């Protein structure tokens, strides 16, 4: 089977034949239908987070279960599934308190990649615990959730990371309530889901900040009540004007840029919070004044993968989509074959795409 392999950071991915080990106990093999390109894949492939090469990245995927290992009961061959990078044991202290994204267990797949290069037999890194820039994956069964067969699989792939992350930051991590004022910095494939999550829970106003006029326009289509260029010197004044003289209850930073983190601290009201959703490259540092944070009773929260509990969140997202209350089709900018993956990535890097999806 084919995969797009990263052999050198910053260089185009290489389409190669690979082999996958059979799923072992607790693991499944999924024939992929689609894998969207997330900024995390791009940062890895550019070398921004280091790591070992060669590697197969890709983690925002969907497909059909082909084979299950022993002990797997919640999915079976033929099931349509969303495949995520969230691997959880279900019984460690973090899983027990509902933080599956922070699971403490070490899995066999953490210690041996199932992917080998057919030509040389060398082991390829199972990137982002998934290796989904490939026609099939072997993952831990906990990473997959079955979905109804009438949900298009290219749309379903988006749920695995961008939708879970953006929506979950609002509904799970922050627990935004009706009437609270929300600012979303960065309205690409993740931020638009924070915008539509804020709209779903009744936040008001919902202010989108993005450098791109196209992405600001998209944010308004997804439920933003206001949209501004973050370079506008009067952004804080605009937010106050929209919110009865106050800054935001919640500021979601969905991009990894230092400028965005720095700006966010100045946009939350007394008692408000900043939620860090986007992942910067290693070494990006932010600054805040702790005295000011204490005296204004503010908070800064990290949101890993939208604090998702995938067996709760994925079916909820699917239901909202099927009711027409959540836009997913509109998130897809382009569909590409695996052989075209470097073009798909380049278009994301140029800021042209909400989500580009590889379809198999
Ligand atoms: Zn991702
Ligand atoms: Zn666990």
What is the Cα–Cα distance from 56 to 53, expressed in whole angstroms? 9
pLDDT of residue 287: 84
CATH architecture of 170-303: 3-Layer(aba) Sandwich (3.40)
Domain locations in the chain as residue ranges: 2-147+328-359, 170-303
Predicted confidence (pLDDT) per residue in 75-109, tens digit: 999 999 999 999 999 999 999 999 999 999 999 99
CA of 254 to the centre of ligand 1 (A): 11
pLDDT of residue 280: 84
What is the Cα–Cα distance from 70 to 63, expressed in whole angstroms? 20
Which ligand is in closest contact with the Cα of 93?
A: 2
Predicted confidence (pLDDT) per residue in 136-153, tens digit: 999 999 999 999 999 999
CA of 93 to the centre of ligand 2 (A): 7
Output b/e per residue, 114-123; b: 16+ Cβ within 10 A. Answer: bbebeeeeee
CA of 308 to the centre of ligand 2 (A): 13
Q: Do the first three CATH levels of 2-147+328-359 and 170-303 match, i.e. the same topology?
A: no
Largest CA distance in the chain: 65
CA of 238 to the centre of ligand 1 (A): 31
Fold designation for 2-147+328-359: Quinone Oxidoreductase; Chain A, domain 1 (3.90.180)
Sign of dihedral through CA atoms 145, 127, 192, 218?
negative
CA of 59 to the centre of ligand 1 (A): 6
Mapped onto helix, strand or coil, the DSSP state of residue 70 is coil
CA of 105 to the centre of ligand 2 (A): 5
pLDDT of residue 279: 85
Going by C-alpha positions, the residue among 4, 173, 26 that lies closest to residue 108 is 26
pLDDT of residue 304: 96
Per-residue confidence band for 286, with pLDDT thresholds at 50, 70 and 90: confident
Under a CB-based contact definition with an 8 Å cutoff, are residues 303 and 275 in contact?
A: yes
Predicted confidence (pLDDT) per residue in 269-281, tens digit: 999 999 999 988 8
């Amino acid at each position: 089977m084919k995969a797009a392999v990263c052999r050198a950071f910053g260089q185009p991915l290489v389409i190669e034949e690979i082999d996958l080990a059979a799923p072992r106990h607790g693991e499944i093999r999924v024939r992929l239908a689609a894998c969207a390109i997330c900024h995390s894949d791009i940062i890895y492939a550019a070398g921004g987070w280091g790591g070992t090469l060669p590697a197969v990245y890709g983690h925002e995927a969907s497909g059909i279960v082909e084979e299950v290992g022993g002990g797997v009961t919640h999915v079976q061959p033929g099931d349509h599934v969303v495949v995520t990078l969230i691997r959880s044991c279900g019984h460690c202290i973090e899983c027990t308190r509902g933080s599956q994204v922070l699971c403490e267990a070490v899995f066999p797949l953490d210690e041996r990649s199932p992917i080998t290069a057919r030509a040389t037999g060398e082991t390829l890194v199972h990137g982002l615990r998934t290796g989904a820039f490939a026609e099939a994956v072997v993952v831990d069964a906990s990473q997959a959730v079955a979905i109804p067969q009438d949900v298009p699989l290219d749309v379903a792939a988006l749920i695995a990371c961008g939708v879970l992350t953006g929506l979950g930051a609002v509904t799970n991590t922050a627990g935004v309530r009706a009437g609270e004022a929300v600012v979303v910095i960065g309205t690409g494939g993740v931020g638009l889901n924070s915008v539509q999550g804020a709209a779903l829970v009744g936040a008001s106003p919902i202010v989108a900040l993005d450098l791109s006029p196209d992405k600001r326009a998209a944010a308004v289509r997804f439920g933003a009540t206001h949209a501004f260029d973050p370079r506008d010197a009067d952004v804080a004044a605009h937010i106050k004007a929209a919110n009865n003289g106050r800054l935001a209850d919640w500021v979601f930073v969905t991009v990894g840029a230092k400028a965005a983190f720095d700006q966010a601290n100045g946009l939350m009201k007394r008692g408000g919070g900043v939620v860090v959703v986007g992942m910067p490259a290693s070494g990006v540092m932010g600054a805040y004044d702790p005295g000011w944070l204490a005296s204004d009773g503010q908070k800064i929260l990290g949101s890993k993968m939208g604090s998702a509990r995938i067996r709760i969140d994925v079916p909820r997202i699917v239901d909202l989509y099927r009711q027409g209350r959540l836009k997913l089709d509109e998130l897809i900018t382009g569909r590409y074959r695996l052989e075209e993956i470097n073009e798909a990535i380049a278009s994301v890097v140029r800021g042209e795409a909400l989500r580009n999806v590889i379809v198999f």
